[in-house]
Copies of this chain bind each other. A is one copy, B any other.
Amino acid sequence: MQKEREEFLKEFTSFLQDRGFIWGPSPEIYGGFAGFYTYGPMGKLLKNKVENSVRRIFQSFDFWELETPIVLPDIVWKASGHLETFADKIIKCSKCGSAHKADKLVEDVLDTSAGHYSDQQLLNSIEENNIRCPSCKSEFVYEIEKQSLMMKTKVAGDDASLRPETATVTYLPFKRYYQFFRGKLPIGVFQIGKAFRNEISPRQHVIRGREFTQAEAQIFIDPLKKDDWEKFEDIRNEKLPFWCWQAQEKNTRPELISVEDTIKKGMIKTKSYAWCVWLAYTQFLNMGIPAENIRVRQHNPDEKAFYAEDAWDIEVKLRSFGWTECCGIHDRTDYDLTQHSKFSNTNLSATREDGSKVMPHVLEIAFGIDRPVLAMLDIFYEKKEKEEGKTLLNIPYKLAPIELMIFPLMKKPELTKIARAIKSDLENEFVVTYDEAGSIGKRYLRSTELGVPYCMTIDFESVKKKDVTLRDRNTAKQIRVKIKDLKEALHNLLNGELKFEKAGKEIKVPCLKEE
């Protein structure tokens, strides 16, 4: 299993690099910093698509986007608790002195999550399993130390840190939101932006990087209204693969349960929080991750943060790394606003209609963008072993980084002129690229590897008949479409509202030399 994964990862990583998806660790020409990556032209287009999908969904459920700073003074991180507690537990080798993440050492051997182990539990596990220094095979010093994950800097001489998540920074302007939304709860906001963690051992490609993109949404809500959540009614019957902590302990599988039943069974306490879990799940479905690759896992009571009322994760199954945490949904209660009220000497409470004061609770959906991007590539990459060059990125059409490639059959002015004009007409609404180099067969192969749903060829017939050939990625079928109908046809094809064969006149595929 482990070996199979490693082999896949090796081949997959070289696909990501060669096809311009993800390069790194960056900067490569200087040897690379572990945990830093570069999105190449294809990777960035895909990342933009994922971010826009996330943005659209949050916006459609009345969350408003914000952009706060990345660098903040350390008083903020003192209040949030990050400065004290946001650290890796490390253990040092008694001989070579190298430091290692204690929970990772245990996880590698026991194949279980050890992130919530106490220091003593970690030491016990290391001793019982005779875990030794991966570098020199010597014994460890019998002591767990803490190493801060915060990336530090100075601003005009003052101590500051780069945010390790967007969340904390989002709570700070609460009074501004409260005024902008005319003093009414609930308030929904979100951010998509960079965060930084000084991981002692970055690993699993972009899954655990030192610099990464977070998408995090918060609902500020009156604790008395957590069960008064109108949007719940629209989704009460939706079934998700819930995996509560008791089922995990009993080693039973996740079950498809309706959102409503999680409340009835007491698995989830409030409607608003259950809705957040549903929304997080929906985000991943809408990115194009297949339902069978997703499960919704509850944190063990030992595992969740001390302030969290409840915590569930969205996990996605990858070929490279197996089930991988991709999103956390937390009921953070009034912990954050209370802390920041105290440390900033600013009252962050809200006022109810009856005049009484209330410290809002925060319901939070937090995920990285890098993980689903990698997940999509991991899941949809299809290497065709025998016929070299026929590798397919089988990504859902709607999420494809490039939606359409435009090819003049040959580099002749009468063809390139039409091709350029079509590109310029379509590029405001679609992600379109233009390629005039190499044989058509080679260009088709290339487009398939990059997951491009449709290729358009402009040939000499196009000049006379004002139509073009459109080729479908997955079937290699070809149709002729009138230039004037292209826009509508492409919209409907990409939305899945039109069958390819109905979008134009089907043609016999000419015998193309695919060198």
CB <8 Å contact, A65 and B38: no
Query: Looking at chain A's contact residues, is the secondary structure mostly helix, strand, loop, or mixed?
Result: mixed
Among A39-47, A123-131, A291-299, the stretch that binds chain B is A39-47
Compute how far the CA of A198 lies from the CA of B173 in the bound complex, rounded to whole angstroms: 23
* Shortest distance between the CB of A173 and any CB in chain B (Å): 6
* Shortest distance between the CB of A231 and any CB in chain B (Å): 11
Beta-carbon nearest neighbor of A184 in chain B: B437
Q: Judge whether A196 is part of the interface by a CB distance below 8 angstroms.
A: yes
CB <8 Å contact, A73 and B33: yes
Q: Judge whether A224 is part of the interface by a CB distance below 8 angstroms.
A: no
Beta-carbon nearest neighbor of A20 in chain B: B180
Known A-B contacts A69-B211, A73-B33; the reply to A198 vs B28 at CB < 8 A is no
Tell me the A340-355 residues at the B interface (CB within 8 Å).
340, 343-344, 346, 348
Tell me the A38-71 residues at the B interface (CB within 8 Å).
38-41, 43-45, 47-48, 55-56, 59-60, 62, 64-71
Q: Judge whether A94 is part of the interface by a CB distance below 8 angstroms.
A: no
Q: Judge whether A434 is part of the interface by a CB distance below 8 angstroms.
A: yes
Q: Judge whether A200 is part of the interface by a CB distance below 8 angstroms.
A: yes
A66 partner residues in chain B, CB cutoff 8 A:
38-41, 44
Q: Judge whether A175 is part of the interface by a CB distance below 8 angstroms.
A: yes
Contact with B along A415-430 (1 / 0, CB 8 A): 0000000001001100
Q: Judge whether A508 is part of the interface by a CB distance below 8 angstroms.
A: no
Contact with B along A131-157 (1 / 0, CB 8 A): 000000000000000000001111110
CB <8 Å contact, B26 and A68: yes
> Which one of B27, B60, B69, B196 contacts A76 once the chains associate, using CB atoms below 8 Å?
B27
Q: Judge whether A306 is part of the interface by a CB distance below 8 angstroms.
A: no
CB <8 Å contact, A153 and B155: no
Tell me the A62-99 residues at the B interface (CB within 8 Å).
62, 64-73, 75-76
Q: Judge whether A220 is part of the interface by a CB distance below 8 angstroms.
A: no
CB <8 Å contact, B162 and A28: no
* Shortest distance between the CB of A32 and any CB in chain B (Å): 9
Compute how far the CA of A175 lies from the CA of B23 in the bound complex, rounded to whole angstroms: 11
Compute how far the CA of A344 lies from the CA of B28 in the bound complex, rounded to whole angstroms: 9
Beta-carbon nearest neighbor of A495 in chain B: B428
Q: Judge whether A366 is part of the interface by a CB distance below 8 angstroms.
A: no
Compute how far the CA of A169 lies from the CA of B62 in the bound complex, rounded to whole angstroms: 36
CB <8 Å contact, A65 and B48: yes
* Shortest distance between the CB of A334 and any CB in chain B (Å): 16
Closest CB pairs A-B (n = 4): A41-B64, A39-B67, A29-B344, A20-B180
6 contacts across the A-B interface (CB closer than 8 A): A27-B72, A27-B76, A27-B172, A29-B173, A39-B67, A41-B177
Q: Footprint of B on A, CB under 8 Å?
A: 17-20, 23, 26-30, 33-41, 43-45, 47-48, 55-56, 59-60, 62, 64-73, 75-76, 151-156, 158, 160, 162, 169, 172-173, 175-177, 179-180, 182, 184, 189, 194, 196, 198, 200, 210-211, 340, 343-344, 346, 348, 424, 427-428, 431, 434, 437
